[in-house]
């Protein structure tokens, strides 16, 4: 299990801060590697707000006693005094980032970014930008350099802006059949990302035409089905490069590519650097932090 967290004033105690409009109290990330289960249950919730981003794998949240499986590319919002119950299973290989925040104007600020009071789970897409911002937030709170509190708020607002852009670009699906099919496809892609993926066969198995499925998926999610699968593969490859000693050929095979050179080209196109350079960058950062 990998944990990297940071807390304001080095305290894990939740608190309210009514002196400023928005204030970041803590943030961090969890990644289950070998641990079977990581449960969390706060029957009375917390005093602050919490935003969680599922970067990879899937998680199990409970709302009003009903379990909801939340896959990568979604964010979950908890508000003050709202019961918090969720579980991470090692078999699902979840990687989750989170931030707790408070302030005297949080609700209005979130509404400003079109994050409605009723939102619990929001599809935001899997993006390296989210991971970058959360990671920077963790480092900033750990180092506590000059004006770090203000900088943390700016980073949180960046996340809000990205959420707003996704919300505003996403069509409001009124067709319950389509919504269920999109959710089913997302679940299928996360479970079978490392297999030979044939969108035509998948659409046919669900009784849909290929063109209609691809068009509907892209309209709802923002990318094509294969682009979505690619983002899953690259995210998992990054996790393996960070947390294991598998070589590039092994990682390529694990995420579904038999040709490591082709995998490396795709990885560089999506990440901006090659797999080997990505691993060296991570190792260099860890040595610096250490």
97: number of Cβ within 10 Å: 24
10-residue stretch averages of pLDDT, the chain, 290 residues long: 85 88 95 83 94 92 91 92 93 91 96 92 84 93 94 97 84 68 86 90 94 88 86 84 88 93 92 88 64
- What is the per-residue pLDDT for 14? 87
271: number of Cβ within 10 Å: 18
User: Where on the phi/psi map is residue 134: left (φ > 0), alpha (ψ -120 to 50), or beta?
Assistant: alpha
Cβ(241)–Cβ(235) under 8 Å?
no
- What is the per-residue pLDDT for 43? 93
| Strand order, beta sheet including 66-71 | 37-42, 84-89, 58-63, 66-71
Residue indicated by tokens 């990297």: 4
- Would you list the domain boundaries of the chain? 2-169, 176-289
DSSP bridge partners of 99:
27, 51
- What is the per-residue pLDDT for 247? 94
> What's 176-289's CATH class?
mainly alpha
Distance between CA atoms of residues 116 and 185, nearest Å: 26
User: What superfamily does domain 2-169 belong to in CATH?
Assistant: Regulatory protein AraC (2.60.120.280)
């Amino acid at each position: 299990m990998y944990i990297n967290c940071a807390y304001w004033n080095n305290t894990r105690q939740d608190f309210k801060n009514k002196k400023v409009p928005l204030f970041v109290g803590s943030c961090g990330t969890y990644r289950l590697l070998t641990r079977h289960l990581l449960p969390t249950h706060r029957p009375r919730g917390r005093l602050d707000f919490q935003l969680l981003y599922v970067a990879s794998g899937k998680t199990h949240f409970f709302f009003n006693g009903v379990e909801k499986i939340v896959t990568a590319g979604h964010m979950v919002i908890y508000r003050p005094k709202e019961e918090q119950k969720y579980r991470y299973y090692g078999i699902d290989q979840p990687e989750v980032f989170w931030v707790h925040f408070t302030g005297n104007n949080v609700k209005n600020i979130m509404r400003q970014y079109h994050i409605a009071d009723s939102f619990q789970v929001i599809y935001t897409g899997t993006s390296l930008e989210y991971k970058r911002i959360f990671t920077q937030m963790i480092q900033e709170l750990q180092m506590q350099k000059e004006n770090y509190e203000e900088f943390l708020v700016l980073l949180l607002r960046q996340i809000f802006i990205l959420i707003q852009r996704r919300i505003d670009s996403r069509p409001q699906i009124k067709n319950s059949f389509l919504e269920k099919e999109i959710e089913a496809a997302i679940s299928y892609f996360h479970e079978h990302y490392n297999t030979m993926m044939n969108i035509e066969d998948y659409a046919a198995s669900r009784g849909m035409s290929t063109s209609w499925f691809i068009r509907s998926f892209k309209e709802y999610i923002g990318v094509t089905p294969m682009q979505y699968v690619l983002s899953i593969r690259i995210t998992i490859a990054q996790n393996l490069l960070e947390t294991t000693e598998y070589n590039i050929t092994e990682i390529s095979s694990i995420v579904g590519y038999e040709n490591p050179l082709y995998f490396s080209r795709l990885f560089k196109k999506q990440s901006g650097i090659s797999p080997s350079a990505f691993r060296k960058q991570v190792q260099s950062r860890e040595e610096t932090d250490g």
